[in-house]
Structure 1
Amino acid sequence: MKLFCLLTLFFTLTIQAQFQINGIVTDSNNKPLPFATITTSDNHNTITDVDGKFTLNYLVKANHFLVSYIGFQSRTIEILDQKKFYSISLSQKTDDLKEVIISNENPALTIIKKVIANKDKNNPQKKLSSFQYKSYNKLIVTANPDSIDGRIDSSAAYKDFDKKRINIDSSDYKFKEIISKQHLFQTEKISQYQFGNHKLKETILGTKMAGFKQPIYEVIAFNLQSISIYGVKYELFETKYENPISNGAPSSYNYKLLDTVNIKGRDTYMIYFKNKQKRKSSGLEGVLYIDQENFAVAKAVMRIKGVLDISGIHEFEYVPSEKLWFQSNTTFKIVKGKNDDDIKILGGTIQFDGDVEDNFEPRKKSASDFTYLLSESNNFDIHYNTNEPIKNPALYIEIKDDASKKPEAFWNEYRKESLDLKSQKTYQLLDSISIKKRIENRLGLGRKIINGYVPIGPVDLDLKKIISFNNYEGFRLGLGGITNDRFSKNFRIEGYSAYGTKDGEFKYSLGTGVLLDKNTNTWVNGYYTDDVREIASTFFAVDKRVFKIYDPRPINISTFYKYTGWRANVQSKIVPKTEAVLELARTYVQPEFDYLFNYNGKLYSNYIMTTAMVSIVWAPFSDFMQTPTGRTESDKRFPRFTFQYTQSLPNVLENDFTFGKIDFKTEYEKNYLNGQKTSLLLQGGYAMGDVPLTHLYNTMPNNLTKETIIQRITFAGRNSFETMFFNEFFSSQYIFFQIKHGFDRIRILKKVRPSLVLVTRMAWGNMENPEQHVGPEYKTLDKGFFESGIELNKIYKGFGLGGFYRYGPNQLLKFEDNIAVKISYVLDLGL
């Protein structure tokens, strides 16, 4: 959701010129010199990128700049008023740089090893017991108007002297006119960072977002770059890379000593690093400035160049009293990179130039090619070893209730410098545009649609309830919804009604809830329901609602039970990094298939269950954000654990049976830098006592009982056994394990790029007291069930194909009966 919001803003908002000079540094053979040092006459530093290119802010005081590179003669370049681009060629020195060589190995690698060995002495989060500071951040999406052609004309055509037909579009001119007056997007925030007990917390004191009265919290929580330079992983644009100074980094990176540079009065080594992989966009690269005395990082430039060109810069101040470099400024910039395909994001197309080949004419750049995102943070009011207690340390981010309501005096107090006229106009114009075009409302609408709702006045219509299909009800037609904030922020009503065209029955549910505590999202709810449910299925009360345009597995289900009753629960996030539901329910159950439950010699065709249940999900490694509207998981990490316990209540409200159920699952996902992904799922259940078949376990089968493979072709489920037939196995105890490994998309044709996924599933189970279940024939999983398969997802327009094979003790006699072919569909939003 955070990525959805930020990319939407970055690529779809099309609205002080920043005077700059640009250039390229090359050698005598016209080959670019990456990471050459550019130093202005007023002592500002920058470096060239991997292509030797640089951008330098045009400062009034600066009249020249110095270009230096290891092994080359330095050059001083005069800044001319009208000149915007400088092509600079450096001549190679006849003498080598005097390097400090400690051994016969690469001197840069020797220095990096000393950096790694001294990390704990130089890392503020290791050396200091605590610290705190304030930070001012400004993020803009803008463009340099001087880079845009901006020819003025209508979308007309004319012929030049050579009778060539030329089409001219005025869109560039309009874009340049807009971008000269304002930014496309702008946001500011003032934060207080506190570190103690090995935890870092950000409290946002003030936040301001152009065009929005209520800030988009997902954008605020978006992690553009790592706060610390010393972590095992370094993060850029919510993608983690191996840190070039991690313990294992020397095996993954090449290092080169470029130069020696003075920073803040201290001598530093300038070391270039690059991932050893040869493939394009293989990983992180950049420059580290290493203090020659204590081998601390005095400055860092991190970069990824691919479809997006992303860079993160960390600057530090040396603190003599602590003998420590402490971070003072960070800069993050993202511009469009190069790719040979256009990219679709939320229905819009972004064009990129590919690598130029023979007889290939690049397209004319559009205005959006010059758009970039820039985020700058300045730290101040820094205190060391304060030992001040941190309130709610389990929270990673906390946004104060009045953060978006701060007066202008507050911002003037904390801004490093006053807003220029262009930034002031950005707030004024975007606020008026937002009101006129109802941008804030439309973004809120998009957020709700992604979650499966459409707001109609004070009610959000539930898209999941409109239509579905299964083999028992046929087409299930319905209407449902829940009241929203326009109705009340502290009270809600929800419900639905549905009709099955095959079973000819109406179903309905009605519920209400009252908010007890906004900060912990604590609600008390009550429901009454008359509906049907798949037999022996497992539902975790804390599982997040997942909206799908279609839910494939239920299409094939034909065995249900009817349930009627009420339930009351309390749901809360009061315990850090958890969400819990405590529920009391009374349900009348009637199996809608040939089944009787034998309990103490009496056969039950229907029964009453009165139960108490507690369900909790624990995400110990995730980051959580407290906003004025409640607590949310800002960064979902793995593993995460879900536990649920259900206990019947004997002699309470006519309860018929005494039993207990324990259910659990553990999820883990790992994303690799090369686009691959591994996911693991371990799930199990244990039913104790007298439990009817309706409430036992079927381990998610998804195969039809048909003669041929073609007849059994259906849609694949997410975590279901594709070769296991419906109602083939039942268990009172089971354990299920699944491993999936997805590879990066394979290019077959330009528009055919399937994603290859390897899947293996296995389960073991047992059935206690099988004599209690009268009617259906079934098998048990004592010897285990095994299947493996290959999925080719997103072959074309989101559709894919998969094949699965059943093997092991429960393999069937006919080879073809062990094979299942399934269709998959993945809705691709371009994220």
Structure 2
Amino acid sequence: MRATTWILLFFSAYAFAQHAVSGVVKDADTGRPLAFATISEGKNENRITDVDGKFTISAKTRINKISVSYVGYQKKEITLRGEKFVAVQLSSALKSLDPVTLHQGQDPAIGIIRKAIASKSANNPQQKLRTFQFKSYNKLIVTANPDSIDGAIDSVFIRKSDGSQIAKPDSSSFRFKKLISSQHLFQMEKVSDFQFSGRRLKETVRGIRMSGFDKPVYEVVAFNLQSFSVYDNKYELFETKYNSPIARDAFSDYYYHLLDTVAVGGRQTYLVYFFPKRKYRKTGLQGLLYIDCENYAVAKAVMRLKTVLDVTATHEFEYLPDEKIWFPTNKEFKIVKGRNDEDIKILGETFQFDADGTDKKRKKQSSDFTYLQSKSWYFDRQYNQRVTISRSSVTMHVKDDAVHRTEDFWRQFRKDSLDSRSRQTYIALDSIVKKEKVETKLRIGRRLINGYVPVGAIDIDLRYLLSFNNYEGFRLGFGGVTNDRFSEKYRMEGYTAYGTKDGNFKYNIGAAARIGKFSNSWIGGAYTDDVREIASTSFAIDKRVFKLYDPRPINLSTFYAYQSWRGYIETRIIPKTESIWQLSRSVIEPKFSYIYQVDGKNYTRFNMTTAMVSLQWNPFSDFMQTPTGKIEIEKRYPKFTFQFTKSLPGILDNDFDFGKVDFRTEYQKKYLNGQKTAVFLEAGYAFGDVPLTHLYNTSPNSLTKDKVLQRLTLAGKNSFETMYFNEFFSSRYVMLQLKHGFNRVTLLRKVRPSLVLVSRMGWGDMERPEQHIGIAYKTLDKGYFESGIELNQIFKGFGLSGFYRYGPNQLPRFEDNISVKLSFILDFGI
């Protein structure tokens, strides 16, 4: 009986035993490992090699044969005779994929891709299905393979001043291997509900867990590693958009080659290899498309980018017979270090790379083995049922309780069980982050970038500390605003400043209360006693931008003083907008020689009671709602800003009846080669009785000096660099700016300027010019034109620019039309 029991146990164990084969795949010519090569065994699921070309494949029966394939290499079949480890070398097959021989019509892949493009609307779930919804579990890790790291303690040789060398032990690799053997470097888990209806796809995050953080970094949560759909004309990979291999115009960017026909989910598919044409070779996508032989839908896709980083994104699908469509089941993203000619510096840390096409050898660092992997599983899928999407204006909504989920919640939805390394990651990083106060440093860093220094419950505003202009002289001040440590429902703010030249104090004090959390709505009031540049266009909704210096005010000398009460409501209740609705009463006093005549009466000081709405609309951007507020996670252009101001006659001694309409739009286009085009358009129209203080000067930035070098100052942003201060005023105007920036060019090792071509033009007119007495000016009725070149970041952020004024307002002396400016760009390396 006892023997029988042992025999039964033996055969039971044998029945459930897994036969496994491990190995490594390398390039036969170079010996370099091939990451993400495909390993298949019979009818079992395919496996993909890791970043070091290593793999393990298992089955319930003995494995007799495996096949190994990799894009651009000859497929190889290996017969096994009991081996547990195999080293596979693949020979290049790229000679058969020579772009010169792949003309349209010669390769059958061309016809297949044409049919796939023509069938997109019939195969795209977001076009064929009325609605769908599913749950998703995502796991993201930053880690390394311990087996790939040499843990030996080496020596580092240091040369002394007398020429001798000493050796010091280098245990960095040893420590890194010990660390990575027990845990990952970073880990995040996320559980979400996805809903699609009315051409909108929304993600609601029900649970989020980020190693080391009590409150997750929401910008990381929103980071878009890869597109959800492979059918979009622009495929997004690692926050960069590329022309899709099945876009309408894909044949202008890609070559295609039919490799094989393979079975996916029981259906035959064409295996098509695509790769960029020669001009896009360094920046374009390459990869594999599995195209259904019957309906020409995408049954699987592998998108790859091989540059400084080696990025691979995989999309897998399941065929739904009832809907006759391939629907996504999971997606995976991997990123490792690629190859480049030079080291790259990011946030102060230098990353080294092997040079392309050379035999340069160096000892590999820990960053050579580190990789990021993200995988998502889709489950509980439902199709063509009634779906109600609440608050559809946000693309991603993180629930308030998402960061407080219990372990029972994670066990319920987790599709990839946590191994010992994953469990230890949470324990270790939670301890390290708390010990090193990482969250506190992150909070301080975020505020510093925006110009604040948090001190307890108050954020001190750095922009008030010191500035200079020709009217106030040096302006010394102090100001700040309360933060969430003070209250999440109330805030107070204020500042005070003193001008060393005008000898006056200025100040502001205000308070507000939040009346809506989702819309981030605030109601508040403030009083201000300060000075402002005359005729300056100001949009109240503009976000506060911190600069180490603000170049234009340095040269300003004409200001007006104002004492103003205002009550306002800030809100984002209108989808994809931010707005301020305001009532104000101001006393205005020009600080220059000026008289404004209205109906025979002269004004040197006047009262204004106005109502204003200022609104910024970003219709193409995506937003994420978090427990702490709304974040613009995907900035898209164009963006639009509107502002309407109307005086209220007869209220609180208002002197004038007038209105102002202001408009601005911005557009940017980034190219795969690193270049960028930007368009900026601004216009304004003032009607009624409007004093010069509140008209338009179109942002001049040049001094009235005889010599070019005497006019050498700092360049502004979106300002006319050859236009003199107070030279032109308008009651209606339009300004257009065109910029095109090229890649940085290396002249010397540390001299790498960025070339930008700039053209600006403006038109304007003045209604009732006879009302304005005391200041001489011209109008822009004939137009104003300037063009120039910016050489930015020549050295340590400093640059130089030159502009030339031409057209109807060109000045008689040639040198008066030239402006040379210094520039400075603060570069954080991100």
Q: Which amino acid aligns with 1:391?
A: S
For residues 30 and 209 of structure 1, what CA distance do their matches in structure 2 show? 38
Q: 1:487 to 1:48 in 2, by over 3 A?
A: closer
Alignment-derived partner of residue 801 in structure 1: 800
Alignment-derived partner of residue 22 in structure 1: 24
Residue 81 of structure 1 and its aligned partner are, at CA, apart by 8.0
Q: 1:60 to 1:471 in 2, by over 3 A?
A: farther
For residues 351 and 72 of structure 1, what CA distance do their matches in structure 2 show? 31
For residues 27 and 32 of structure 2, what CA distance do their matches in structure 1 show? 8
SS in 2 for 1:180: helix
Q: Deviations over 1:215-242 (max 9, x none)?
A: 1111111111000000010001110000
Alignment-derived partner of residue 277 in structure 1: 278
For residues 804 and 219 of structure 1, what CA distance do their matches in structure 2 show? 41
Q: Deviations over 1:122-141 (max 9, x none)?
A: 10001101100111000111
Alignment of 1:74 onto 2:85: no
SS in 2 for 1:744: strand
Residue 154 of structure 1 and its aligned partner are, at CA, apart by 7.7
Q: Deviations over 1:368-395 (max 9, x none)?
A: 2211111100000000101221111221
For residues 117 and 414 of structure 1, what CA distance do their matches in structure 2 show? 38
Structure 1: which 5+ runs fail to align?
1-18
For residues 267 and 23 of structure 1, what CA distance do their matches in structure 2 show? 27
Alignment of 1:306 onto 2:328: no
Q: 1:550 to 1:483 in 2, by over 3 A?
A: same
Alignment-derived partner of residue 316 in structure 2: 315
Query: Is the 8 Å Cα contact of residues 329 and 379 (structure 2) preserved in structure 1?
Result: yes
SS in 1 for 2:408: helix
Residue 275 of structure 1 and its aligned partner are, at CA, apart by 1.2
Q: Which amino acid aligns with 2:757?
A: L
Residue 398 of structure 1 and its aligned partner are, at CA, apart by 0.7
Residue 78 of structure 1 and its aligned partner are, at CA, apart by 4.4
Q: Deviations over 1:331-388 (max 9, x none)?
A: 1111122223332222332232323547xx4332211221111110000000010122
For residues 191 and 416 of structure 2, what CA distance do their matches in structure 1 show? 14
Q: Which amino acid aligns with 1:236?
A: L
Structural mapping, 1:169-188, within 5 Å: 169-188=170-189
SS in 1 for 2:179: helix
For residues 75 and 58 of structure 2, what CA distance do their matches in structure 1 show? 25
Alignment-derived partner of residue 640 in structure 1: 639
Structural mapping, 1:47-196, within 5 Å: 54-57=53-56, 59=58, 65-68=66-69, 74-76=76-78, 78=80, 83=85, 86-89=87-90, 105-152=106-153, 168-196=169-197
Alignment-derived partner of residue 219 in structure 1: 220
Alignment-derived partner of residue 510 in structure 2: 511
Bigger Cα displacement from structure 2, 386-395 vs 779-788:
386-395
SS in 1 for 2:493: strand
Residue 755 of structure 1 and its aligned partner are, at CA, apart by 1.0
Q: 1:153 to 1:31 in 2, by over 3 A?
A: closer
Alignment of 1:482 onto 2:506: no
SS in 1 for 2:288: strand
Q: 1:407 to 1:154 in 2, by over 3 A?
A: farther
SS in 2 for 1:738: strand
Q: 1:280 to 1:149 in 2, by over 3 A?
A: farther
Q: 1:202 to 1:302 in 2, by over 3 A?
A: same
Q: TM-score, normalised by structure 1?
A: 0.92
Structural mapping, 1:496-535, within 5 Å: 496-535=495-534
Q: Deviations over 1:195-217 (max 9, x none)?
A: 11111111111111111111111
Query: Is the 8 Å Cα contact of residues 37 and 53 (structure 2) preserved in structure 1?
Result: no
Query: Is the 8 Å Cα contact of residues 598 and 772 (structure 1) preserved in structure 2?
Result: yes
For residues 264 and 252 of structure 1, what CA distance do their matches in structure 2 show? 30
Q: Which amino acid aligns with 2:481?
A: I
Q: 1:65 to 1:664 in 2, by over 3 A?
A: same
Alignment-derived partner of residue 768 in structure 1: 767
The percentage of counterpart residues that share the same residue type is 58
Alignment-derived partner of residue 39 in structure 1: 40
Residue 296 of structure 1 and its aligned partner are, at CA, apart by 0.8
Residue 593 of structure 1 and its aligned partner are, at CA, apart by 0.9
Query: Is the 8 Å Cα contact of residues 155 and 170 (structure 1) preserved in structure 2?
Result: no
Structural mapping, 1:644-659, within 5 Å: 644-659=643-658
Bigger Cα displacement from structure 2, 609-618 vs 273-282:
273-282
For residues 282 and 344 of structure 1, what CA distance do their matches in structure 2 show? 20
Q: 1:209 to 1:104 in 2, by over 3 A?
A: closer
Alignment of 1:267 onto 2:268: yes
Count residues in correspondence. Answer: 798
SS in 1 for 2:278: coil
Alignment-derived partner of residue 4 in structure 1: none
Alignment of 1:613 onto 2:615: no
Structural mapping, 1:425-574, within 5 Å: 425-574=424-573
Alignment-derived partner of residue 786 in structure 1: 785
Alignment-derived partner of residue 249 in structure 1: 250
Residue 42 of structure 1 and its aligned partner are, at CA, apart by 7.0
For residues 438 and 611 of structure 1, what CA distance do their matches in structure 2 show? 48
For residues 348 and 367 of structure 1, what CA distance do their matches in structure 2 show? 13
Residue 34 of structure 1 and its aligned partner are, at CA, apart by 10
Bigger Cα displacement from structure 2, 432-441 vs 166-175:
166-175
For residues 57 and 693 of structure 1, what CA distance do their matches in structure 2 show? 77
Alignment-derived partner of residue 14 in structure 1: none
Q: Which amino acid aligns with 1:505?
A: N
For residues 467 and 73 of structure 2, what CA distance do their matches in structure 1 show? 70
Structure 2: which 5+ runs fail to align?
1-20
Q: 1:221 to 1:549 in 2, by over 3 A?
A: same
For residues 277 and 668 of structure 2, what CA distance do their matches in structure 1 show? 25
Alignment-derived partner of residue 13 in structure 1: none
Residue 504 of structure 1 and its aligned partner are, at CA, apart by 1.6
Q: Deviations over 1:267-324 (max 9, x none)?
A: 1111111111346522111111111111111111111111121111111111111111
Alignment-derived partner of residue 211 in structure 2: 210
Q: 1:30 to 1:565 in 2, by over 3 A?
A: closer
For residues 826 and 80 of structure 1, what CA distance do their matches in structure 2 show? 63
Query: Is the 8 Å Cα contact of residues 156 and 170 (structure 2) preserved in structure 1?
Result: yes
Query: Is the 8 Å Cα contact of residues 25 and 53 (structure 1) preserved in structure 2?
Result: no
Query: Is the 8 Å Cα contact of residues 67 and 75 (structure 2) preserved in structure 1?
Result: no
Query: Is the 8 Å Cα contact of residues 157 and 166 (structure 2) preserved in structure 1?
Result: no
Q: Which amino acid aligns with 2:45?
A: H
Q: Deviations over 1:460-508 (max 9, x none)?
A: 0111111111121121111111001111110011011111122221111
Residue 59 of structure 1 and its aligned partner are, at CA, apart by 4.7
Alignment-derived partner of residue 384 in structure 1: 383
Q: Which amino acid aligns with 2:234?
A: K
For residues 433 and 621 of structure 2, what CA distance do their matches in structure 1 show? 33
Q: Deviations over 1:763-787 (max 9, x none)?
A: 1000011111111100000000001
Query: Is the 8 Å Cα contact of residues 38 and 69 (structure 2) preserved in structure 1?
Result: yes
Residue 79 of structure 1 and its aligned partner are, at CA, apart by 9.9
For residues 712 and 20 of structure 1, what CA distance do their matches in structure 2 show? 71
Q: Which amino acid aligns with 1:286?
A: G
Residue 33 of structure 1 and its aligned partner are, at CA, apart by 9.4
Alignment-derived partner of residue 684 in structure 1: 683
Q: 1:464 to 1:80 in 2, by over 3 A?
A: farther
Alignment-derived partner of residue 693 in structure 2: 694
Bigger Cα displacement from structure 2, 379-388 vs 747-756:
747-756
Q: TM-score, normalised by structure 2?
A: 0.92
Query: Is the 8 Å Cα contact of residues 35 and 272 (structure 1) preserved in structure 2?
Result: no
Q: 1:829 to 1:559 in 2, by over 3 A?
A: same
Query: Is the 8 Å Cα contact of residues 24 and 48 (structure 1) preserved in structure 2?
Result: no
Bigger Cα displacement from structure 2, 119-128 vs 332-341:
332-341
Q: Deviations over 1:613-642 (max 9, x none)?
A: 011111111111111112221111111111
Q: Deviations over 1:82-106 (max 9, x none)?
A: 85x82424699xx99xxxx9x9532
SS in 1 for 2:111: helix
Q: 1:167 to 1:77 in 2, by over 3 A?
A: farther
For residues 165 and 715 of structure 2, what CA distance do their matches in structure 1 show? 56
Bigger Cα displacement from structure 2, 627-636 vs 321-330:
627-636
Query: Is the 8 Å Cα contact of residues 701 and 723 (structure 2) preserved in structure 1?
Result: yes
Q: Which amino acid aligns with 2:25?
A: G
Query: Is the 8 Å Cα contact of residues 72 and 90 (structure 1) preserved in structure 2?
Result: yes
Residue 421 of structure 1 and its aligned partner are, at CA, apart by 1.3
Query: Is the 8 Å Cα contact of residues 25 and 33 (structure 1) preserved in structure 2?
Result: yes
Q: Deviations over 1:553-579 (max 9, x none)?
A: 211111111111211100000011111
Alignment of 1:338 onto 2:339: yes
Q: Which amino acid aligns with 1:736?
A: M
SS in 1 for 2:117: helix
SS in 1 for 2:153: coil
Alignment of 1:815 onto 2:814: yes
